[in-house]
Amino acid sequence: MKIGLYMATQWREAADLEPELANLIEQVRAARASGFSSLMVGQHFLCKPLQMFQATPLLARLAAEAEGMMLGPGLLLLPLLNPVVVAEEAATMDWLTGGNFVLGLGLGYRPEEFDSIGVPFKERVPRMIEGIEVIRKLWHDDPVEHHGRFHKLSGVRASLKPKRPGGPPLWLAGDVEVAVKRAARLGEAWFPSPLVSRNAVARLAALFRETRAAAGLPPATEFPIIRECHVGTFEEVREPLFFKYEAYASWGGASGFVPADRIRQDFDKFAADRFIIGSEDEVAAQIRLYGESTGTDHILLRVQWPGLGQKTALRTIERLGNVIAQVL
C-alpha cells in the first residue's frame, strides 16, 4: 500500500497566500520525511468563495522539495486545455521529477468554467477523448499526424519527449459508470474522487477491471484513490470540512455530480461513508479495509481544508508516518 499526500490548495477569500505557500512547502518536507510516496494537487478555475493556485506551476515549485516522490495533478480538466500544452508541460514535469510524474485528467463538471473559457459543455467528452489521443501522439510519434474534430497537427514534433519511456501514466477520473468504462479503455488507472463512498469505489473498481478485460487490455498496475483524512476526532475538523463540501455543493449541485442535498442535510453520514478519521490505529485499520474491500493499493490523503490551521495539518502528516509504518 502506498500513501500519498493530496494537497489542499484552496483557501478562504481573506487568506494571505504568501504564508500559505510557505505552509505547503513545509507540508511537502514533512510528508517526505514521514514516508509518503506521492504528492498531488487539484485544478479548478473561478473558485469563489475560495482562492486556488493552479496545478502545474505549483507542482514545479514543490518538486524541489519532493525528491523521490511521485508527483502529478489530480487532476487537470483536459477539455478546457490545449492538449499540446498539456503534453509538453507534462513531459517537462517528467524530467523535473526524474521520471516520477503522473498525469491525472478529468472532464470537469462546472458550466461556468466552460462558459468562461469558451468551450461548449456538451463537447467535453469528445474533447477529452481526442485530447488524450493528441497527448499520446506527441509523446510517442515523430513526426505527429493528427486530423481530428478539434485539433489538427501535421508533420510536427514535440519540443521534448518525456523522460519515462512511453510517457507518464494517465490516471482518469470520473465517478459514474460511463466515466469508469472510459478510464478503463483510455487510461492506465481509474482515479475516483473523495465524493465516492467506499462501497461505490469497490463496485466501480470491479467494473473498471471487467471493462479492461473485455477490451483485451492488461490489468491496471495501480489503483489510486483520494480520501479526506484526519488523525484525531471528527469534531476537530468538522467545520473546515463542511465549508469545503458546502463549496462543492454550491459549485456542482445542479450538475448532479455533487450530492448537494446529502452534504447539507446529513453531513455526518456523508463523512462516515467517505472520510478516514480516527486515532492512528483506527486510521491504519480503515486504510487496510479500503485495500481489502476495494483493491486500492495507493491512497492519497488530504489532511487540510480551508480554515484548518497549519499545526493541525502537520500533526496529522507526522502521525501518518506511524500509520505508514503499520500498513506498508
Q: How many Å apart are CA 239 and CA 248, to the nearest integer?
A: 14
Average pLDDT, the chain: 95
Are β-strands 10-12 and 50-52 bridged in parallel, bridged antiparallel, or unpaired?
antiparallel
Would you tell me the crossing angle of helices 310-327 and 280-294 to the nearest 10 degrees? 60
Each residue's pLDDT tens digit, 227-240: 999 999 999 999 99
pTM strictly above 0.85:
yes
pLDDT in tens, 66-89: 999 999 999 999 999 999 999 999
What is residue 325's predicted lDDT score, i.e. its pLDDT? Answer: 92
pLDDT tens per residue, range 310-320: 999 999 999 99
In terms of phi and psi (left: phi > 0; alpha: psi -120 to 50; beta: otherwise), the region of 68 is left
Does the pLDDT at position 212 exceed 90? Answer: yes
Confidence of residue 159 (pLDDT cuts 50, 70, 90): very high
272-292 pLDDT, tens digit each: 999 999 999 999 999 999 999
User: Which tens digit of pLDDT belongs to each residue from 196-207?
Assistant: 999 999 999 999
Question: Would you call 178 exposed, middle or buried from its count of C-beta atoms within 10 A (0-12, 13-18, 19+)?
Answer: exposed
Residue reference for cell 478539434: 150
Distance CA 181, CA 205 (A): 10
d(CA 222, CA 157): 30
- pLDDT score of 307: 94
pLDDT band, residue 266 (cuts 50/70/90): confident
